[in-house]
Amino acid sequence: MIGLQEVLDGRWAAVRRAAREQLGGTHFVAVPGETMAQARERVSRLLRELPTDPGIASGFPSRYGGRSDPGASVVAAEMLAHLDLSLMVKAGVQWGLFGGAVVALGTERHHDAYLRDIISAELMGCFAMTETGHGSDVQQLRTTCTYDPETQTFDLHTPHEAARKDYIGNAARDGRMAVVFAQLVTGGRRYGVHAWLVPIRDERGRPLPGVTIGDDGPKAGLLGVDNGRLSFDHVRVPRDMLLDRYGQVAPDGTYSSPIENDVRRFFTMLGTLVRGRVVVGGSASAATKSALTIAIRYGEVRRQFAAPGEPREIALNDYLAHQRILGTALATTYALHFAQEELVSALHDIQTSTGPADEHRQRELESRAAGLKAAQTWHATRTIQACREALGGAGYLAENRLPGLKADTDVFTTFEGDNTVLLQLVAKGLLTGYRDAFGSLDGWGRATFVAEQVREMVLERTAARGLIQRLVDAVPGRDEEVALTDRGWHLALFEDRERHLLDGAIRRLRNGAARQKDRPFDIFNDVQDHVLATASAHVDRVVLEAFVAGVDRAGDPEVKALLSKVCDLYALSTIEAHRGWFLEHQRLTPARSKAVTGMVNELLRQLRPQLPTLVDAFGISDEWLNCAALREEPGRQEAMAAHDDELRRPAARVG
Amino acid sequence: MIGLQEVLDGRWAAVRRAAREQLGGTHFVAVPGETMAQARERVSRLLRELPTDPGIASGFPSRYGGRSDPGASVVAAEMLAHLDLSLMVKAGVQWGLFGGAVVALGTERHHDAYLRDIISAELMGCFAMTETGHGSDVQQLRTTCTYDPETQTFDLHTPHEAARKDYIGNAARDGRMAVVFAQLVTGGRRYGVHAWLVPIRDERGRPLPGVTIGDDGPKAGLLGVDNGRLSFDHVRVPRDMLLDRYGQVAPDGTYSSPIENDVRRFFTMLGTLVRGRVVVGGSASAATKSALTIAIRYGEVRRQFAAPGEPREIALNDYLAHQRILGTALATTYALHFAQEELVSALHDIQTSTGPADEHRQRELESRAAGLKAAQTWHATRTIQACREALGGAGYLAENRLPGLKADTDVFTTFEGDNTVLLQLVAKGLLTGYRDAFGSLDGWGRATFVAEQVREMVLERTAARGLIQRLVDAVPGRDEEVALTDRGWHLALFEDRERHLLDGAIRRLRNGAARQKDRPFDIFNDVQDHVLATASAHVDRVVLEAFVAGVDRAGDPEVKALLSKVCDLYALSTIEAHRGWFLEHQRLTPARSKAVTGMVNELLRQLRPQLPTLVDAFGISDEWLNCAALREEPGRQEAMAAHDDELRRPAARVG
């Protein structure tokens, strides 16, 4: 169904098509069973061979050789994620994190000096933010960078092992420079976290004086990415290596910044780096699509147990239990696809807008990126596991690709922000209407946020506001009488759940604050599960609205009908998963709740013949999937069937 | 709390103590980051160094050097699983699967000839059942072994690639013989699957003529286990190499067996091999305990975000969201521990009983082993993933052990029986009262099983029948008025759920059969989700009853009180997880359901200080855990705190 792939390819269809051509064949595809050294060598080499137009580097400004197209760079990363997640992450570190930080936090002199070499991968670099001692609490980094007016240099220093930079991609092997985040100190005062461009290796790859480089060694996955550790022993950094778009230090040590408040400044800096999270979420979804394509194609050819007394054989995909797992996961993958597409569009439009910065819109984007990153990466972890189990023993062999997909994506749940912390950020945005929410990862901490700040509750619609409102308004009559597949009813239920949870969270936080004002941690901790559920419900609603808008965009009626059925499955299986809540809050009667389960099964039955079509539309080639069992299984099944037939013939030679 | 460990150590405490002594230190502990070749070499070498008394080989008959103690062999495997899952699986293949099959399916001449060399690992062997083309459907293996009276040999043959033996441990590198399962043919008739002892390599390790040996290559985990593929091209096998306890072939080719029916005979043979499943479930739980010990100890020292306006720092374990994940997983791990202990006891008592075989008890054992294997391995996969996420980036590094635990246990969900297929087996036993259920993995297939066979519904109590009944009978008054921690109420709810689900499954199957008699596959497939839920509910009930009986056995009142609280948490978090069902069936009111969630949170709060005690009681040494972050993190946190204090002093030198 050509039209289906077109709808999925979406706004950056040209980038997807280019990737299918330029990266065709197996040249860039992950190699199972490599040693760490082999993987690092291959990935490092291939990075330099990657096409850049379009490509992940498309986000760089045109005048340095990019396309000024942030959306294209995200979509190019998603495509590369089908081939090799190590290569995608390595490229993401080089062009997204390292290069992206130079663009966003540096000024023209940095751009002129380095961007061309960064784009060509002549200059390989690191993004050195995370420290061993604290991960999520980046505002409290312990590395210091202290200005000395005498020498007009900064003194970059790691005070103890807990402050060393850790898990830093490109550090263990290839990086020659690093964007290092540290506390800026000048004139005896701290101004919060800033970033410097710091050389770490000489031309021959040896660590520079004062720089200690360690290796994080073997990891669960992503063997091709050379993660390492960086420590600095009073390293002198020239004054002009401060990436000074948001904070400048004059030769005499005077500090100045367009943003007065240290916290706000830091989170504004972080906010410019939102693309990393969008890429991680999108890549997790790409890996999920690869895994589902493998599992569903395998389930189509693999037969298990003959049907008793019937001439047909039972394919794995015929089993309801199989459909329950893979079919619903596929529907969620579709839903997340449309949500990601919408997020990338929002990111692109904000980052290419020439008007004045819209802080509310920026906060909303950061919140959306955080929530979808959490949803997509957890969905990937669960779904790839299910796909690996769906292949039985074959799913455990490296030659069948799933072990690599699983191991490589695992870290996505905690890097670029731990998922639980990210959902808290989403909740914070909802509770405050994005006022002072920043791109902050500071949990509930730091006293800047108190329960009284929570806003009056207002839900903001996302995509296609008009369409969604029309559908909700059109729901006829009482709930019990509405068709189970009524789209407005789905939307109203999702919205109702979010609204009620948010309302309850606000009430509980206020009550808690009144009761135990002096223990702000407990106020939040007592309702942490409720607050996280609120954030999840919000993400669910955003995802459904994006899916509904995506269905609406489909032109071909056949495509639209199929997508609409998949959307029903997503909506109803999500309602089913949360039926405990809906029943507790009397949004579903027991009878209606059981009917939802019945309808999920019915939709799975109806969609059964379309499962292959639905994964074909992801447009992932056999070479990219690189799964031995898909190449060999059809032949095996034929051989078995022929042999069994022979045995069944009356004059069978059984010996 | 010494008494707590004593309760957990249970009936085979001596075996656990011996393992802690004999396997102490790091000698037998998994080495992170090895290549496949290194891991295979090390594991193969260490296998021969493993203590055998007590040990996995304790299950062999005393007169060949074992202890005739099947329970000890399972517990020894569980202990070894703390150290290195590759080594455990390799040992399990050698002594459990290969040696176990020779014991159970062979007769005295096989025992006399081979058991001593098998126990000493002088003779390494394989268990060659699974074929590439079909995994779960072992009754339909395609390999044939045809008797020829002229030469008095069998002709063992792999008719096509789909029939090759696959995923066979010990095959790729070390195995010199294999127990090969194939269709026995003699006098032109098939008699179903039997097993032969077949040499596959010569003394110098070269494949014997007609035997083709392949390598399954890199896997997601278990790198130290040399899984491979075996094909046979008309290999001659002497007549006396048939493992002929359940089926004999006379020199003239006449077949005889104590069990007339081919299907029943095959499943009786399979039933003797039940120990493998018990070992896999127990080992999965052992790995879960290791992972939880790491995550909870780490969560105790690792601090994240300062508490706003308070002098204390917040440990990860203080967060409700963290407790929600790790605390409830810990309670389930305790519950499964007691269920496993009870299962091992039942296995031991049946396999050491000298009375006549009790087929009902044997079927029940097989069903219990299947259900608990599924529950324990899925719980392991979920929990180890959660533990890995709980360590953030550190959880992704091989040096912190969790990647190994995760990758190695992954395959447990599908080997020794795919979990979904195993739950179906459980359901089948429940539906038929174990009549004709066999240890069968044949899905719903093969027409031998029709819906009319389902029995009248009778629930059978498991452990401590008297105790359970007294508790259920003592539930006072109406549900709403009963305390949320009333044990009898928990038991009654679990039992009610199982009973109602089973009742409904029977009704739906009968109605389906009446409606579409000619499509038996559809009859079952339409209710497959319902049937699987029934099996799950049964396993939940069995697990709770075992936990209740375990709490009752604790002598020390402090230990008993703590265990009782953990049991409350298991019961209520399980009820909470299924509250959708309880609400749909009006077993919980909405208010009561919300109260259950509140009580789960309250129990987590109460148990928070005891989390370290609860993992300490697993008795896993630091050397066995082998986690770098646990060794280093306390020092890091101290260094950070000292440094931060210095910065906070009024006269701070910030530079």
- Looking at domain A275-475+483-616, its CATH class is mainly alpha
Tell me the C-alpha distance between B70 and B230, whole Å: 29
Q: Which pair of tokens denotes residue B403?
A: 């990647």
The lowest-confidence range among A132-136, A152-156, A276-280 is: A132-136
Q: Long-range contacts for A12-18 (Cβ within 8 Å, ≥24 apart)?
A: A12/A71, A12/A72, A12/A75, A12/A344, A14/A54, A15/A54, A15/A58, A15/A72, A15/A75, A15/A76, A15/A79, A16/A75, A16/A79, A16/A619, A18/A51, A18/A54
Contacts of B377 in chain A (CB under 8 A): none
**Minimum distance, in Å, between the CA of residue B557 and any CA atom of chain A:** 30
Nearest to A305 among B395, B445, B448 (CB): B445
Position A478 pLDDT exceeds 80: no
**Minimum distance, in Å, between the CA of residue A104 and any CA atom of chain B:** 25
Nearest to B33 among A218, A418, A420 (CB): A218
Contacts of A598 in chain B (CB under 8 A): none
Contacts of A407 in chain B (CB under 8 A): 220, 403, 407
Task: Record the pTM.
Answer: 0.95
Asked whether A132 and A166 are in contact (CB, 8 A), the reply is yes
Nearest to B393 among A307, A324, A414 (CB): A414
Buried b (16+ CB within 10 A) or exposed e, A401-419: bbbbbbbbbbbbbbbbbbb
Q: What homologous superfamily does CATH list for A2-124?
A: Acyl-CoA dehydrogenase/oxidase, N-terminal domain (1.10.540.10)
Q: How high is the pLDDT of residue A453?
A: 54
Contacts of B392 in chain A (CB under 8 A): 135-136, 414, 418
CB contact under 8 A, B134 and A532: no
The lowest-confidence range among A96-100, B173-177, B285-289, B459-463 is: B459-463
Q: How high is the pLDDT of residue B467?
A: 86
Average pLDDT over every residue of A602-611: 98
Helix (H) or strand (E) holding A322: helix A320-351
- Looking at domain B275-616, its CATH class is mainly alpha
Q: How high is the pLDDT of residue B356?
A: 86
Tell me which of B384, B529, B578 to substitute to probe the interface with A (most A C-beta atoms closer than 10 Å).
B529
Judge if B2-125 and B275-616 fold alike in CATH terms. Answer: no
CB contact under 8 A, A314 and B521: yes
C-alpha closest to that of A312 among B519, B461, B447: B519
Position B412 pLDDT exceeds 90: yes
Contacts of A393 in chain B (CB under 8 A): 130, 135, 166-167, 411, 414-415
CB contact under 8 A, B217 and A35: no
Q: Which pair of tokens denotes residue B490?
A: 């928990």
Using CA coordinates, name the residue in chain B closest to A587.
B590
Contacts of B389 in chain A (CB under 8 A): 413-414, 418-419
**Beta-ladder partners of A168:** A228
Nearest to A216 among B381, B397, B444 (CB): B397
Q: Which pair of tokens denotes residue A125?
A: 């670099």
**Beta-ladder partners of B195:** B181
**Beta-ladder partners of A397:** B219
Position B457 pLDDT exceeds 70: no
Q: How high is the pLDDT of residue B454?
A: 54
Looking at every residue in chain A, the average pLDDT score rounds to 91
Q: What homologous superfamily does CATH list for B127-267?
A: Butyryl-CoA Dehydrogenase, subunit A, domain 2 (2.40.110.10)
CB contact under 8 A, A584 and B593: yes
Q: Long-range contacts for A643-646 (Cβ within 8 Å, ≥24 apart)?
A: A643/B142, A643/B159, A643/B160, A643/B163, A644/B142
SS3 A147: strand
Instruction: Assign A651 a pLDDT band (cuts: 50, 70, 90).
Output: low
Nearest to B403 among A219, A518, A532 (CB): A219
The lowest-confidence range among A87-101, B516-530, B626-640 is: B516-530
C-alpha closest to that of A640 among B187, B159, B230: B159
Nearest to B167 among A393, A406, A583 (CB): A393
Position A307 pLDDT exceeds 80: no
* B473-504 tens-digit pLDDT: 888 876 678 999 999 999 999 999 999 999 99
Average pLDDT over every residue of B54-67: 93
Percent of chain B with pLDDT over 70: 92
Q: What is the CATH number of domain B2-125?
A: 1.10.540.10
**Minimum distance, in Å, between the CA of residue A591 and any CA atom of chain B:** 7
Buried b (16+ CB within 10 A) or exposed e, A454-487: beeeeeebbbbeebbeebbeebeeeeeebebbbb
Q: How high is the pLDDT of residue B339?
A: 98
Instruction: Assign A512 a pLDDT band (cuts: 50, 70, 90).
Output: confident
Other CB atoms within a 10 A radius of the CB of residue B352 amount to: 12
Contacts of B305 in chain A (CB under 8 A): 136-137, 442-446
Instruction: Assign B468 a pLDDT band (cuts: 50, 70, 90).
Output: confident
* B9-18 tens-digit pLDDT: 999 999 999 9
Tell me which of A521, A527, A597 to substitute to probe the interface with B (most B C-beta atoms closer than 10 Å).
A521
**Minimum distance, in Å, between the CA of residue A323 and any CA atom of chain B:** 10
Position B456 pLDDT exceeds 60: no
Buried b (16+ CB within 10 A) or exposed e, B198-224: bbbbeeeeeeeebbebbebebbbbbbb
Position B363 pLDDT exceeds 80: yes
Q: Residue B178: what are its φ and ψ, rounded to 5°?
A: -145, 140
* B107-161 tens-digit pLDDT: 999 999 999 999 999 999 999 999 998 766 778 899 999 999 999 999 999 999 9
Average pLDDT over every residue of A4-22: 97
Contacts of B144 in chain A (CB under 8 A): 654-655
Q: Residue B126: what are its φ and ψ, rounded to 5°?
A: -120, 160
Q: Which pair of tokens denotes residue A69?
A: 């197209």
Domain boundary assignment for chain A: 2-124, 275-475+483-616
SS (H, E, C) B431-451: HHCCCCCCCCCCCCCCCCCCH
Asked whether B633 and B302 are in contact (CB, 8 A), the reply is yes
Asked whether B339 and B546 are in contact (CB, 8 A), the reply is yes
Nearest to B654 among A190, A529, A643 (CB): A190
SS3 B73: helix
Q: How high is the pLDDT of residue B437?
A: 45
Helix (H) or strand (E) holding A482: none
CB contact under 8 A, B137 and A392: no
Q: How high is the pLDDT of residue B462?
A: 63
Average pLDDT over every residue of B191-220: 97
C-alpha closest to that of A568 among A280, A231, A266, A332: A332
Rg for chain A, CA atoms, rounded: 26
**Minimum distance, in Å, between the CA of residue A531 and any CA atom of chain B:** 10
Asked whether B81 and B88 are in contact (CB, 8 A), the reply is yes
Q: How high is the pLDDT of residue B21?
A: 96
CB contact under 8 A, A136 and B442: no
Tell me which of B129, B131, B134 to substitute to probe the interface with A (most A C-beta atoms closer than 10 Å).
B134
Looking at every residue in chain B, the average pLDDT score rounds to 91
Buried b (16+ CB within 10 A) or exposed e, B628-641: ebbebbeebbebbe
Residues with Cβ within 8 Å of residue B65, at least 6 apart in sequence: B52, B57, B115, B116, B119, B120
CB contact under 8 A, A134 and B583: no
* A514-527 tens-digit pLDDT: 887 777 788 889 99
Tell me the C-alpha distance between B100 and B80, whole Å: 18
